[in-house]
Amino acid sequence: MTLPITCNSKEIVAEKKRCSRGVSVGIKSVSIAFGGRTVLENFDIEIAAGEFVAIVGRSGCGKSTLLRSVVGLETPQSGTIALGEVAGSKGKPDVRVMFQDSRLLPWRRILPNVMLGLEPALIPQARKVLAQVGLAERANDWPATLSGGQRQRVALARALVHDPNLLLLDEPLGSLDALTRIEMQQLIKDVWRSRGFTAMLVTHDVAEAVSLADRVILIEGGRVALDELVNIPRPRTRGSARFAALEERILGRVLQRRALVEEQWQTISGRTEGRW
Amino acid sequence: MRALAGFAVGGGLGLLLGLFTGSLHWAETLLDTTIQMVRNIPPLALIPLVILWFGIDESAKLFLVALGVFFPVYVNTFHGIRSVDRGLLEMGRTYGLSGWPLYREIILPGALPSILVGVRFSLGLMWVILIVAETISARSGIGYMTMNAREFMQTDVMVVGILLYAILGKLADLLAKGLERYWLRWNPAYQAAR
pLDDT value, residue A55: 92
pLDDT value, residue A168: 92
How many degrees, rounded to 5, is the angle at CA A74 between CA A5 and CA A256? 70
Interface test with A, best of B83, B93, B94 (most A CBs within 10 A): B94
Q: Which domains does chain A have, with CATH numbers?
A: 17-94+163-275 (3.40.50.300)
Q: What percent of chain B has pLDDT over 70?
A: 96
Q: What percent of chain A has pLDDT over 70?
A: 84
With CB atoms and an 8 Å threshold, state whether B187 touches A107. Answer: yes
Nearest CA in chain B to A108: B186
Local confidence band at A260 (pLDDT 50, 70, 90 cut-offs): low
Among candidates A97, A106, A142 on the partner chain, residue whose Cβ is nearest the Cβ of B94: A97
Among the residues of A1-76, which ranges form H helices? 12-19, 63-70
Peptide bond just before A106 cis, omega within 30 deg: no
pLDDT value, residue A200: 92
The pLDDT of residue B185 is above 90? no
On whether residue B131 sits in a domain, the answer given is: yes
Contact B173, B124 (CB under 8 A): yes
CATH code assigned at B71: 1.10.3720.10
CA dihedral A11, A12, A13, A18 (to 10 degrees): 90
Distance from CA of B73 to the nearest CA of A (A): 21
Which residue from B143, B114, B117, B111 is spatially nearest to B128, judged by alpha carbons? Answer: B143
Cα gap A186→A257, rounded to integer Å: 30
On whether residue B168 sits in a domain, the answer given is: no
Is B106 near chain A, with CB under 8 Å?
A: yes
On whether residue B29 sits in a domain, the answer given is: yes
Whole-model pTM over 0.80: no
With CB atoms and an 8 Å threshold, state whether B97 touches A142. Answer: no
Stretch B11-33: mean pLDDT: 84
pLDDT value, residue A17: 42
Count the helices and strands in chain B (H runs, E runs). Answer: 10, 0
The one-character DSSP state at B84 is S
Distances (CA, A) of B41 to A54, A271, B37, B44, B64: 60, 84, 7, 8, 12
Tell me the Cα Rg of chain B: 20
Local confidence band at A258 (pLDDT 50, 70, 90 cut-offs): low
The pLDDT of residue A7 is above 60? no
Stretch A253-267: mean pLDDT: 65
On whether residue B165 sits in a domain, the answer given is: no
On whether residue B180 sits in a domain, the answer given is: no
The range of the structural domain enclosing residue B81 comes to 2-138
Which residue from A225, A265, A259 is spatially nearest to A245, judged by alpha carbons? Answer: A265
For A193-235, how does the pLDDT look when each residue is reduced to its tens digit (9 = 90+)?
A: 888 889 999 998 888 899 889 999 998 888 888 888 888 888 7
Phi and psi torsions of B149, nearest 5°: -60, -35
Among candidates A72, A101, A144 on the partner chain, residue whose Cβ is nearest the Cβ of B186: A144
With CB atoms and an 8 Å threshold, state whether A73 touches B88. Answer: no
The pLDDT of residue A174 is above 70? yes
The H or E element spanning position A47 is strand A37-47
Stretch A155-160: mean pLDDT: 90
Which residue from A34, A112, A114 is spatially nearest to A74, judged by alpha carbons? Answer: A34
For A60-87, how does the pLDDT look when each residue is reduced to its tens digit (9 = 90+)?
A: 788 888 888 888 888 888 888 888 877 6
Cα gap B180→B113, rounded to integer Å: 7
Local confidence band at A10 (pLDDT 50, 70, 90 cut-offs): very low
Which residue from A162, A4, A16 is spatially nearest to A92, judged by alpha carbons? Answer: A162
How many degrees, rounded to 5, is the angle at CA B168 between CA B164 and CA B171? 140
Cα gap B88→B110, rounded to integer Å: 9
Stretch B114-127: mean pLDDT: 87
Total domains, chain B: 1
Q: Specify which residues A31 forms β-bridges with.
A: A78
Local confidence band at B194 (pLDDT 50, 70, 90 cut-offs): very low
Is B181 near chain A, with CB under 8 Å?
A: no
The pLDDT of residue B30 is above 90? no
Q: Specify which residues A53 forms β-bridges with.
A: A200, A215
Cα gap B41→B38, rounded to integer Å: 6
With CB atoms and an 8 Å threshold, state whether B105 touches A105. Answer: yes
Among candidates A72, A144, A162 on the partner chain, residue whose Cβ is nearest the Cβ of B188: A144
Which residue from B46, B2, B43 is spatially nearest to B144, judged by alpha carbons? Answer: B2
- Return residues 64-83 of A near B (CB < 8 Å): 71-73
Local confidence band at A270 (pLDDT 50, 70, 90 cut-offs): low
With CB atoms and an 8 Å threshold, state whether B91 touches A103. Answer: yes
Chain B residues close to A103, C-beta within 8 Å: 87-88, 90-91
Among the residues of chain A, which ranges form H helices? 12-19, 63-70, 110-114, 123-132, 148-160, 178-195, 206-212, 241-254, 258-271
Chain A residues close to B184, C-beta within 8 Å: 107
Burial group, residue A91, by CB count within 10 angstroms (0-12, 13-18, 19+): exposed
Is A106 near chain B, with CB under 8 Å?
A: yes
Burial group, residue A66, by CB count within 10 angstroms (0-12, 13-18, 19+): buried
- Neighbouring C-alpha atoms within 13 Å toward the C-beta of A112: 13
pLDDT value, residue A4: 42
Cα gap A218→B82, rounded to integer Å: 37
On whether residue B91 sits in a domain, the answer given is: yes
Nearest CA in chain A to B91: A103
Cα gap B58→A250, rounded to integer Å: 78
**Region for B67 from its dihedrals, namely left if φ exceeds 0, alpha if ψ lies in -120 to 50, beta otherwise:** alpha
